[in-house]
Amino acid sequence: MLGSLTSIKTQVEDPVYFRYNDTSGWLIGNDQFSARFRMEANSTFRWVNLTDSFGAVLWEGSQAEPSSPIDLRIDNTIINAKTPLRLVGQRGFVTPKGGKGLAISFRDMAQLYEFELLFEIHAGHPILHQQLRVKNLRGTRVYLRANDIVSYAPRIEDVDYRVFRVNQWSVLNGGRNFETLSTTLNQRLQRVTMVTGAGGLQCTWVAIAKPDNVGLIAGWEFDGRADALIQRNDSILDIGVNVASLMHPVEPQTWYEAPASFVGVFVGDWDEAGYRTQRYAEAALAPKVEDPKFPYIAWDSWGYEKAIDEVKLRREADLAAASGAELFIVDLGWAKQMGDWEADPEKFPSGMRAFSDYVHSKGMKFGLHYVISEAMADSKVLQDHPDWACSTNYNYHGAKSLALGHKPVQDWVIEQGVRIIRDYNVDWILQDGQTMVKQCTNSGLSYDPRDWNYSGDEGLNRILREIQAQTPGVVWENCANGGNMMTFSMVRNYVTSITNDASGSLGARQGLFGASFPFPPRYTDRYMPDVPMTDYNTRSFMFGGPWIMMNRLADLNPDALNFLKNEIQSYKAMRGSITDGKVLHLTLRPALGRTDAIQSYNPALDEAIAVVTRDAAISDRYTLRFRDLMPANTYRVSFADDRRIFTMTGDQLMRSGVSVNLPERESGEIVYARRMVQ
């Protein structure tokens, strides 16, 4: 087997390559960058460097304090970059989304464990995906007690390092709304800490940059809690992400699968870091959306809260369809109660399938709110299985939390989800709940109570995987009582995600501002509450993923409905360009008393779209300077409301800009710059 190790390579014309020899180790790269790993003379395995497409080293590992993607603790044994290993094999593979992979296998010298590193890379993306698998070769059970799933330690240069990350959304712990956080590390032992995952503080993404704007990005795929640390030490910048409360039993001849992660490089500002991450996520992680209309314009019933019935909702469906909505979602309150997932016969005497058919007859998709992790105390499921209630209750609308790490709970949730989707002909699931990976330390369940974090994540992922496999084509929207589980595992499992939960026009723009750094635009859907129909309000919700209205349409007068219809047409005209574009944050985070602007640039179309919003700012004009246009190209500049039209070069638009009129204290305008073909 060892004789074949030097032959691992892709076709000559393929921009992805894997190269190996005994001296220089592994070079994994593409047309954008490369990553090198090596086995040293003492048989240890370590990361060497990350380079650009020309081979220039951007980030380099330390020989004195090496790091390795194999970094864990099994019982009391620590295995990391200082542990001698024996190389036993490697193989190439193709990923489901068209990338190329390399699996490298090692064993420890006592041959108690096998370690398989899975590296994946996609052409055109300067990002390396990695995952570790560990097989227990012993004759007894062992416990995984610690696992650093990123574990990179670049050598320190004599410069400052800026660390950029983004909060999640939460109504708890003082409230958070995707604030961006930037810290400069310029002193020894200075550190940045992050608490990520369901119910955590930050999104599972971090970007680090040197003064010359050479940057490193990292993201991780874990919905449970993971604790990140970026610390400046004497000779290295120690970057690590550890799975919290890990005590995972591994039986003989079985595998532990670590959460996956990715690392990559960028050169530029935080928008460039976000763009590189987003394009990679779309190419390698996110489910493909076949419908060219996506992201949808939708209507959701939560404007009525739980006071819904089929008569009221049929009227709203008529008006939503006439306004141009493509998706109609029945939110919480449709079932008898949480846990008893049957339509309430008093609210829906004709049955939920009949109502679903009515929505479909209007040309809209039918969506339903489903809480997979909660049940009311007097629901049949908890009456029959009181031990399924979680030891920690997260108090979602008065319900009790379920122990999703317990396999019988998973089986029941899967059965309920499949039945609901099939019986009611559901196209879209709005999955909701509070803290989807729950601290549940009950004994007597199918998992070790000390391992609630890993097992809860595993349970949530199994539920989603099984329901989606049995009901293909159904679109899942992530909601954890808002955008409170913003992870790259979420990106794998859902087509979109809520950002903040109906927090008004300013709050929606603030949420979008932060969430659109790590996540593709389609993962920033916004819920518009029952607000007046003005350009300030509607345009606060247009940029990004699905626009979901909760207005009581039946209460709107004809002028307001006509205004809404026109705004929906504006949204439909711009959504595709934004979905595939680069997000550019032109101003500071939106705030009262300021004008804010956010832009998309679609390189395939050579087209830019900006939404400019005045939020009680003093001036009724704003000079919009586009970014990332082609300087020598000529663009036609137009507005959603203003009738002025300009012909300007990209250089003029980026240097001098264009004046945007915002006549009202609360105003919104859309500005388009489309390339003129000569």
The per-residue pLDDT for range 280-307, each reduced to its tens digit, is 999 999 999 989 999 999 999 999 999 9
Residue 161: count of CB within 10 angstroms of its CB: 22
Would the pLDDT of 8 be above 60?
A: no
What's the pLDDT score for residue 606?
98
Give residue 172's pLDDT: 76
Mean pLDDT to the nearest integer, 597-616 = 98
Q: With respect to residue 487, please indicate whether it lies within any of the assigned structural domains.
A: no
Contact 535, 665 (CB under 8 A): no
pLDDT of residue 373: 96
Run of H or E including 638: strand 634-639
**Residue finishing a domain among 285, 311, 337:** 285
Residue 248 bridge partners (DSSP): 144
Q: What is the domain range of residue 114?
A: 2-285
Mean pLDDT of the region 620-628 = 98
Rounded CA separation 467/368 (Å): 15
Q: Report if residue 488 sits inside a domain.
A: no
**Could you report the per-residue pLDDT of 321-361, keeping only the tens digit for each?**
999 999 999 999 999 999 999 999 999 999 999 999 999 99
Strands (E), 325-459: 327-330, 335-337, 340-343, 365-371, 374-375, 400-401, 428-432
Nearest to 429 by CA among 489, 486, 494: 494
Task: Say whether pLDDT at 7 is over 50.
Answer: no
Work out the pLDDT band at 503, boundaries 50, 70, 90.
Answer: confident
Type of residue at 169: W
The answer on pLDDT for 174 being more than 80 is no
* Span 559-604, pLDDT tens digits: 999 999 999 999 999 999 999 999 999 999 999 999 999 999 999 9
The answer to whether residue 498 is domain-embedded is no
**pLDDT band of 171, cuts 50, 70, 90:** confident
Q: Give the domain CATH number at 630.
A: 2.60.40.1180
Model confidence at 464: pLDDT above 50: yes
Output the pLDDT for position 4: 36
Residue 1 has pLDDT above 70, yes or no: no
Residue 552 lies in a domain: no
Beta partners for 199? none
Q: How high is the pLDDT of residue 3?
A: 33
Is residue 114 a part of any domain in this protein?
A: yes
**pLDDT at residue 173 in the model:** 67
User: What is residue 2's predicted lDDT score, i.e. its pLDDT?
Assistant: 36
Summarize the confidence of residues 614-640 as an average pLDDT: 98
Q: How many CB atoms lie within 10 A of CB 593?
A: 9
Mean pLDDT of 644-673: 98
Distance CA 156, CA 341 (A): 56
Averaged pLDDT, 654-661: 98
Mean pLDDT value of segment 443-450: 96
Does a structural domain hold residue 244? yes
Provide the number of structural domains found in the chain. Answer: 2
pLDDT of residue 9: 44
Question: What is the structure's pLDDT at 5?
Answer: 38
Query: Percentage of the chain surpassing pLDDT 70?
Result: 98
- Among residues 260, 285, 310, the one where a domain terminates is 285
Q: What is the pLDDT of residue 214?
A: 97
Q: What tokens appear for 350 in the block?
A: 């004709």
pLDDT attached to residue 6: 36
Residue 296 in domain = no
| pLDDT at 626 > cutoff 80 | yes
Q: Residue 152 maps to which CATH number? A: 2.70.98.60
Whether 452 is covered by a domain: the verdict is no
Last residue within a domain, chosen from 250, 268, 285: 285
Residue 589 CA to residue 75 CA, distance in Å, equals 46
Q: How far apart are CA 68 and CA 48, in angstroms?
A: 9
pLDDT confidence bin for 13, thresholds 50/70/90:
low
pLDDT reported for residue 307: 97
**CA neighbor of 246 nearest in space, from 254, 258, 255:** 258
Displacement of CA 364 from its chain's centroid (Å): 26
302: region left, alpha or beta (phi > 0 left; psi from -120 to 50 alpha): alpha
Mean pLDDT confidence for 3-22: 64
